[in-house]
Structures are given as structure tokens and as C-alpha cells.
Amino acid sequence: MFILSSALIVYNTFVYRKTIRSMIENSQPKFQLMNLTLEKLILAELTISSKVSTIDSLLSEEEYEKVKTLLEEIKKSNVTFREFPLEENELENLKILEDGIKNFAQYAETIHILGKDNRRQEAQILYVRGVNPLSASLRQTVKTLIEFEASNSRKNEDAAESQLTFSLYMICVLSLLSLVAGILFSRSIIRSVMFPLRKAIHFASEIQNGNLNNRIQIDRLDEMGELLEFLKKMEVSLREIIVEARISVENSEKASKEFYKVSKEFISTSETQANDSQKVADHIDRLSTLVEANTSVILTSAEHLRNLEKEIQKNLSSLIDVTESLNSLALQAKESSDTALKGQEKVDGIQKSF
């Protein structure tokens, strides 16, 4: 549409310039030539009439040469006029003008001779009967040519104006059509871009909502097609990552269960060791109480020691053995208690880490 509008503008501009150039190169120069011809013809007639109409005046050589010069210039103007493209009517009028100029030159020569021969009356009669009617006829012929050229000039002006008006109308119409076509073309482009863009947005929103089983059809090879292809690959990659993450979570869950089981067993063992240590400590307390009771009995029964020295020595050795055993058991119970407490602290640390 834009190319057609430009071509039409160029064509109408060419026609308009051609019309104006025709006016400038043909109509106006011909119009000027005919105006100059008319002026020279009138000047020649006035020169002759001014001398013929006065009784005491004669057409001098200088004035006669002036008339001849004017007529020669008119003949040269006619030759120049023939160089332009002429219509048949113009050629006929130009032929009449050329013949009339020849006759006018002959009349001027005759009047000049009659004046030199002092035959003024005959010169006046020749002027009245020959020069004056011929001059009037020639003036009318020249005016006809001038009017014809003026008419052609007006026609060319009207043609140029109508061509210019037509060009303006066509430019407006083509501009309107170009605007409508541009709007339709823009809408089609926008739709061709927005439709796949909406598909891409919907596809991305589905991925955002966690739907990785969405399907999208790619039927384009431009940038929008590349965008849709990228989103599709991204969905596949996300699906693979999620599957791998799910497998990793399952493996981690299994490992956590196993670790929890082992920790529970370890905690149970530690609690058992702690309970055993507590029992040993209770036995030690009881034994300590018994030792204290036996000591008080020994102190209170000092008098009986002498009588029972053999038995006391025997019991004392037994007590020493028992005391060593109790000390050994107390040391082992303390180590077991410390080990149980350390195990408990490790278990608590592991549970806190979970």
C-alpha cells in the first residue's frame, strides 16, 4: 500500500510538472511572442498613419527603415513561433499573419515611394483602403492567437490544478487505506505475539503451581517458539530434579530410621547400664551402712574382742577382703556411671541434631 501510494504520488507529481513545464516552455513564450508582435504591428501602423494623415509630412527614410525593422522582427517572431508545437488552428492563423505581414511591407514600401513622388493623396487612399483594413485584420489574427494561447494556458492550469487536486485526494485515500492496513497488520502481529505469549505465561503458571505434567504444542520456529521450547525443557529438568530429590529424601528417610533404631538401641543399652550402676550404688550404700553398723558393734564389743580375738582376726581378714571387693565394685560402678552419663549426653546431642 505504501509503495502504491508512493508510486501514485510520483506519477501525479510527474504529470503536474510536465503540465507546468508545458505552460512555461510553450504557452507562455508563444503568448509573449504574440504580444510583442501585436505591439510592433501597432507601432508600425502608427508610424505610417502619423505621416500619411498629415498633409505636410512625409514618410522619411529613417521612419521607413524603422517600419521595415519592425516588420522584420515580426517575421523573425513568426519563425520562432513555428518552432513550438502548434495545432492546426494556430498554423492557419500564423499563415494568415505571415501573408498579411508581406502585404503590409509592400503597402509600406508603396506609401514611401508615393511620398517621395509627392503623391500624398494616393498614399492616403492606399493607407485608408489597404494598410488600415489589413492592419486591423492582422491585429485580429494576432489577438486570436493570443486568446488561443491564453485558453491553452488556462486549460493547462486547470489540468494541473485538477491533477494536483486528484493527487491530494488519492494521497488522502491511500493514506487512510495505509492507516487501516497498518492497524490490521499491527493487530495481526500483536495477536501472533500475544497468543504464544499467553500460552507461555499459562505454562509457566502451571509450573509455579506444581503441575509438571502440563503439555504445550510448539508450532513456531521464531523467538516465541524458542521461548516455548525453553519452558518445555525447563519443565522436564524440574521434573527430573524433583524425582531425584524424592529418591534422595526416601533414602535419607530410610537412613534416618536406621539411625533412629540404632540410637534407640544405644539409649536402651545406656539406660540399662545406668540402672545397673544405680543398683551397684545402692548395694554399696547398703554395704557401707553394714560396715558402719559392724564398726559400731566392734567398738561397743571391744571387751568381747579379747575373748574372740581369733574369731575377730578371722572376721577382720574377711572384712578386709570384702572392703577391697567393695572398693573395686565402687570404682567399677563409678566408671559405669560416667560411661552411662557420657552415652546419655551423646544421645541427647544426636537427638538435638535431628
Whole-angstrom distance, CA of residue 41 vs CA of residue 135 = 7
pLDDT of 207 higher than 70: no
Whole-angstrom distance, CA of residue 211 vs CA of residue 213 = 6
Helix (H, G, I), strand (E, B) or coil at 218: coil
pLDDT of 103 higher than 80: yes
| pLDDT tens track for 137-190 | 988 998 998 888 888 778 777 777 787 787 777 778 877 887 787 788 777 777
Is residue 7 within 8 A of residue 118, CB to CB? The reply is: no
Work out the angle at residue 107's Cα, subtended by the Cα atoms of residues 101 and 112, and round it to the nearest 5 degrees.
125
Percent helix, strand and coil across the chain, each to the nearest 5? 90, 0, 10
Q: Locate cell 521461548: which residue?
A: 227
Give the list of residues 6+ apart from residue 138 with CB closer than 8 angstroms, or none. 41, 97, 100, 101, 104
Whole-angstrom distance, CA of residue 343 vs CA of residue 149 = 129
Q: How confident is the model at residue 47 (pLDDT cuts 50, 70, 90)?
A: confident
DSSP secondary structure string, 45-94?
Answer: HHHHHHHHSSSS----HHHHHHHHHHHHHHHHHHHHHHTS---HHHHHHH
Nearest alpha carbon to residue 115 among 100, 102, 131 = 131
In order of their start, the domains of the chain are: 1-191 (1.20.120.1730)
Set of cell numbers at residue 1: 500500500
For residue 315, the model assigns a pLDDT of: 47
Nearest alpha carbon to residue 206 among 218, 195, 198, 214 = 214
For residue 267, the model assigns a pLDDT of: 61
Is residue 123 within 8 A of residue 115, CB to CB? The reply is: yes
pTM of the model: 0.45
Q: What does R_g of the chain's alpha carbons equal in angstroms?
A: 70
Mean pLDDT of 264-283: 59
DSSP state of 286: H
Whole-angstrom distance, CA of residue 233 vs CA of residue 49 = 110
For residue 72, the model assigns a pLDDT of: 92
